[in-house]
Amino acid sequence: MEPVIQKFVTKYDDSQTPTHTLLNGGKIHVPKEQLDKFYSKLVKRSFEDNETIQLVERIGEIHPFLVDLDLKYKDVLTGRQYTHTTLKEIATYLWKTLNNYLKLEAKDSECWIMEKDTPYPCSHNDFEYKDGIHIVFPEIILKRDTYKYIIKQIQTEDTILTIFTETCDISPDNDTKGIIDASFSSWQPYGCRKQGETPYRITCVFEQDSDDSEMEPVSEEDFESFYSDCNENNLDIAKRMCVQHHDTESVSYNPELIQALDKPLKTSSTILTNMTEPDPYVYGVDEDEDRIQYRLEGEELKYVRELVKCLCVERAEAYDDWLRCGLLLHNINESLLDAWKSFSSQASNYSEPTCDDKWNSFDNGYSGPKLGLGSLKIWAKKDNPLKYIEVQRNNVAPLVHEAVRLGSDADYLVAKVIQEYYKNEFICVDAGEEWFHFNGSRWERTLKANVLQRRIPEEVYRIFENRYNHYSNLCAQDPSSEDPKKWLKNLFSIQMKLLKGSYQKTLLSHLQTLFYVKDVMTLFDSNLSILGFDNGVYDLRDKEFRIGRPEDYLTMSTGLSFPVEASKLPMKLDGLSKHVKSVLPQYDRLEMDLQDFLCKIIPQQVVREYTMLFLSKCLSGENRDEGFYIWTGSGGNGKSKLIDLMSQCLGQYFCNLPVALLTQKRKASGAASPEMALTLGKRLAVMQEPDVNETLNVGEMKEITGNDKIQARGLYKEPFEFTPQFKLLMMCNDLPNVPSNDDGTWRRLEAVPFISRFVKQNEVDESNHRYLIDRQLKNKLGKWKEIMMLNMLEAWTKYDEKGIKVPDEVKNMTQEYRNKNDVVGQWISEICATKDHVMGEKCKLAPSSFEELYDAFKMWINMEEIVKHRVPTKQTFKEALFKWQHKSEWGLSLGSSKSDLKANGTKAYPLFNLVIK
């Protein structure tokens, strides 16, 4: 370990807040008063001695404005793809954006661009190479919360991605959210690096050019004087870039920013979340994600302690169950350590110090499932049903007494008894019509609280009946007292009313309000990492099948039930697969038939593996790749049968969408969109065959697949916003026309070829992927559901760890599809050649005018008989030529007028380096 770091490591203890993290393991604390000395030694080791110091600095509460651009490429690179123009436009855009939020002066515009020596190979399966740019505005010092707000606004725009697209030879293949890291919690000190890579060093500095808002590079003389690679400069840069030692902001806010920051964060008192303590290896970890807990106090805590006494010794002996119990109690209230210790003491290996240590680790953000009072009630009821009923009745006894004391007209108090007894079991969504009941696995929709109403004359009646002996004893103890006699009479009266339907409806009118949870619909099915089954929940993050919890807020189900008893849950995926295989009749035969089906529908192995990874993505609500997928091929290729199987596997998570959604004009704002309203919570949405020569609505496609909130409105309903979870798939024989040729469109699109055909016996030719049609296939699909689901869960594990690599067969199909839609590109490729500038009257000019090229293009259109809907307008043709020229070796240089003529003429009368062959 480097000596400059060693002294701080040896002095570090848990009572100190770590300021830096070693990428090869370890944390250190550098006191503020020693930061200057620390950085002096760090710079000397990094630059003079050229040592590799793998260190990152944790970001403090106040720090300079930083931007981390992460560029990933699917191609093998031979050099850097962005240009000086790219850097200048990004610096200008950031400076203009900062001025929208902050009150800034020209002196604040100093902008450092830092780069490594070269791009590096990328270990992520989806990409071949990676590059990066670090940007610092050292004069703009602001609070961390303010910084996070501004950087997230920048991330929501596509401006930086557009700059890369328009100024690079090869633009990055990751999207805006992937390029702009808005969640990093640490920053590399100047000169530090990862093992095997060069450090980020300042290669360019921009500043505002006089009163113009454009950014220009500083002079070479200034760069050499203040930023060149000498020890004095490097130390000054390292100190100014430090994200630990700032105490005050250097800027003031514009009113719009003040107003935006004043808006309260929306949280829910019923979501229970534990976040992991970030171990910030450089980037991508946000230490300040909301940790929302709910706290019970007073009498409610006594109730919790009684529920804990219902838990069995086996739960204390099993480490995972013991740990979950601790997490749950810590979520409810941090004062419940004694209750956890009492529960833990049942175990043979009980250790009080272990309980203390683990409890304290929860404070540091231990990563665990969402657990709360609802789960505790389920555990208690399962472990000791009789004791649980006793605890429940004792808990509502004071409320029962209040109702009995006031008499049979105390309807609201009777309703309070019911609400307290069934807390976390029922939810009312609207004015009494729509209720949800937790059925042990998920929240199930019930009409007009019929499940709850059925319990009133049975279970609720017995709750009051159970108090009969109590009041009878009071009467016997003091025969002269009138109160116990009156209470006993009231009790009997309430019991009789509970048996009447009219009174039950009266109680339900109160219960609508008592069980109402505001905005609960935004919580339902919002956990992207769980998948509902009829007998449990699969947690895609923890890779385990477990019992459902009220805190999951899950309402949907695949409709499948794995053949496993609840007592054996939770069960990891390996164990689940082995168990299902051992108990499912004819498993091996069914698995063999399923694989034969998949191999015939998708005979190319790499495409089949890619397709299984794609289908596994449809188990999750995440939309990491933001893709639009098209399965294409001639009729009778079996793709619809695969979708039928997916429909049966996904159940309520599957839906069909009308293809008109993407081929017709957008509906007016506020218009009903019931088809989109029904996609809430879905994981796979399929569109069937569009009409021949249909044109794709690119804007609608980008909006739906962009991981942004969209608005929908059901018939006669209020509009609402949600972020789609579904992966969008279109199945077609004739591919729709795509009117846009921009990279943003085609980065999303993947066209998957289905090359098989299922034919009659006399047409079979398996060498050419012509297979015998199976007339009984429809009957087989239902028997493959559980096995297909297990295959997808295994594929999900691979996708989650390594991502998805698009095979050449899909890339080629997509590129062929793109070429057919790029009429201008096709014309340039077939008809044109490039030519250097020629000498004009005043300067060198590109050889061909726009009008000459456009006339040639129209002739070619007529000769090739290009169908009308594929012919671009004159303006679109011009824009395509501008884009080609910009990417050419000559670049694009336009004058503002004839007197200011440039190599490519003017915007009104442009010239291009293209000639007709």
Alpha carbon distance 143, 139 (integer Å): 13
Of 773, 760, 758, 761, which is closest to residue 633 (Cα–Cα)? 758
Cα–Cα distances (Å) from 114 to 66, 87, 102, 191, 834, in that order, read: 11, 10, 24, 11, 36
> DSSP character for 435?
E
* Omega cis (within 30) before 570: yes
Residue 690 lies in a domain: yes
Q: Three-state SS for 36? A: helix
Residue 374 lies in a domain: no
> Do residues 19 and 118 both lie within one domain?
no
Alpha carbon distance 757, 768 (integer Å): 9
Residue 135, pLDDT score: 96
Domain stop point among 816, 836, 866: 816
Residue 524, pLDDT score: 92
> Do residues 32 and 79 both lie within one domain?
no
Domain stop point among 14, 29, 48: 48
Residue 288, pLDDT score: 30
Residue 724, pLDDT score: 94
Residue 866, pLDDT score: 74
Helix or strand (DSSP H, E) at 405: helix 385-406
**Which range of residues forms the domain containing residue 39?**
3-48
Of 77, 72, 200, which is closest to residue 135 (Cα–Cα)? 200
Residue 364, pLDDT score: 42
Residue 851 lies in a domain: yes
Q: Give the amino acid at 455.
A: R
- Residue 92, classified by CB atoms within 10 Å of its CB into exposed (0-12), middle (13-18) or buried (19+), is buried
> Do residues 801 and 827 both lie within one domain?
no
Residue 139, pLDDT score: 94
> Do residues 803 and 864 both lie within one domain?
no
Domain stop point among 761, 788, 816: 816
Residue 409, pLDDT score: 85
Residue 370 lies in a domain: no
> Do residues 864 and 798 both lie within one domain?
no
> Do residues 776 and 838 both lie within one domain?
no
Cα–Cα distances (Å) from 343 to 306, 329, 362, in that order, read: 11, 11, 17
How many structural domains comprise the chain?
A: 4
Contact 713, 683 (CB under 8 A): no
> Do residues 8 and 85 both lie within one domain?
no
Contact 111, 128 (CB under 8 A): no
Cα–Cα distances (Å) from 199 to 123, 190, 540, in that order, read: 19, 8, 37
Q: Give the amino acid at 799.
A: Y
Q: Give the amino acid at 857.
A: F
> Do residues 39 and 137 both lie within one domain?
no
Residue-level length of the chain = 917
Residue 562 lies in a domain: no
What is the token pair recorded at 16? 């100190």
Residue 714 lies in a domain: yes
CA dihedral 362, 367, 369, 373 (to 10 degrees): 20
Per run of 10 residues, the mean pLDDT along the chain (length 917 residues) is 54 62 73 84 83 85 93 84 92 93 91 91 75 94 90 86 88 84 78 84 88 82 83 84 87 86 43 32 31 54 94 90 92 90 90 87 55 92 94 93 88 95 90 84 90 95 91 87 90 94 94 88 91 96 94 96 92 95 94 97 97 97 93 90 97 95 70 80 94 85 86 74 93 88 86 95 94 93 96 96 94 90 88 94 92 94 78 87 90 87 91 95
Q: pLDDT, tens digit, for every residue of 712-743? A: 877 667 777 889 999 999 999 889 988 887 77
> Do residues 762 and 897 both lie within one domain?
no
Cα 462 vs. chain centroid, distance in angstroms?
A: 47
What is the token pair recorded at 18? 């770590």
> Do residues 802 and 830 both lie within one domain?
no
Of 187, 195, 192, 204, which is closest to residue 91 (Cα–Cα)? 204
| Pairing between β-strand 20-22 and β-strand 111-115 as defined by DSSP bridges | unpaired
Q: How far apart are the first and last CA of the chain?
A: 65
Residue 169 lies in a domain: yes
> Do residues 95 and 224 both lie within one domain?
yes
Alpha carbon distance 142, 495 (integer Å): 65
